[in-house]
A and B are shown apart, each in its own frame.
Chain A
Amino acid sequence: QVQLQESGPGLVKPSQTLSLTCTVSGGSISSGSYFWSWIRQPAGKGLEWVGRIFSSQNANYNPSLKSRVSMSVDTSTNVFSLRLTSVTAADTAVYFCARESVARDGALDIWGQGTMVSVSP
C-alpha cells in the first residue's frame, strides 16, 4: 500500500524559503504511471494546486506561483520536494503531497496527511 508523508518546518519567516519533502513508501517514485503533486489549503479555505513533477526535467507549476516555486525528485530515496521562495503570509497553509494517476485521468488518488506551514516573523 503506497503511502505519502510530508515533512518540513512548521514556521518560516517572511521573505525566506519554504522547503518541504514528501516521502513515498510502499512503491517506487520512478513508476512511469504517476505524477507527484503538491496542493495547499489555507485555513478554512479551498484547495489550490501548486504543481507536479514527473522527473527532474518534467514539472508543471501553477502560473500564480511559477516564478517562486520549484520541485525535484530523488529516486534514490523515494522522496520528492517542494521549494517556495520569498514567502509571505499568503503562503500560510496546510501543504499536501499527492499522487496523480495517469490511469485515472489525472485524479489525485493518494494523499499525504498534510503539514501545516505558517509564515510569520
Chain B
Amino acid sequence: DIQMTQSPSSVSASVGDRVTITCRASQGISSWLAWYQQKPGKAPKLLIYAASILQSGVPSRFSGSRSGTDFTLTISSLQPEDFATYYCQQAHTFPITFGQGTRLEIK
C-alpha cells in the first residue's frame, strides 16, 4: 500500500496566520492527491483535487502544490471556521489511502 505521511500531526495557530500542512507519499502518485477538511461529527469536505485544483465553492485562501512526492496544503490567512482536521488522500493506486490527519487548533 502507498503510505501517506502528514506533518505535523497537530498545529496551533491564530486567526490571520498562514499555515502549511505537508503530505508525503511513499512512492510516486503523480498528482492524484486530494485534500479534505473534517469538523467534529461531520463528513470530510473536499477542498483540493489533482494536487492543486480548488474545488468549486472553496475559499481561495486554500491552495495546494506538489513537488515530487511531497504535497502541501496552504491556508493563507486562517479564519475561525478553518479550525478542523485535514486529511490528504491518494487515488493513484489501490487501495486508496489517506494520511493520518493534521489537527489545526486555535492558539
Residues of A within 8 A of B (CB): 46-49, 52, 60-64, 96, 98, 100-101, 104-109, 111-114
Q: Is B45 an interface residue (CB 8 A)?
A: yes
| B96 in contact with A104 (CB, 8 Å) | no
Complex interface: chain A residues within 8 A of B50 (CB) = 104-105, 107
**Is chain B's interface secondary structure helix, strand, loop, or mixed overall?**
loop
Residues of B within 8 A of A (CB): 1, 31-32, 34, 36, 42-46, 49-50, 53, 55, 87, 89, 91-92, 94-101
| A111 in contact with B34 (CB, 8 Å) | no
Q: How many A-B residue pairs have CB under 8 A?
A: 68
Closest to A106 in B: B91
| A107 in contact with B34 (CB, 8 Å) | yes
| B43 in contact with A111 (CB, 8 Å) | yes
Which of A49, A98, A100 has the largest number of chain B CB atoms within 10 A? A49
Q: Could you jot down 13 A-B contacts, CB within 8 Å? A: A46-B99, A47-B87, A48-B98, A49-B97, A49-B98, A60-B94, A63-B1, A105-B50, A107-B49, A107-B91, A108-B36, A108-B46, A109-B49
A47 to B89 alpha-carbon distance, docked (Å): 9
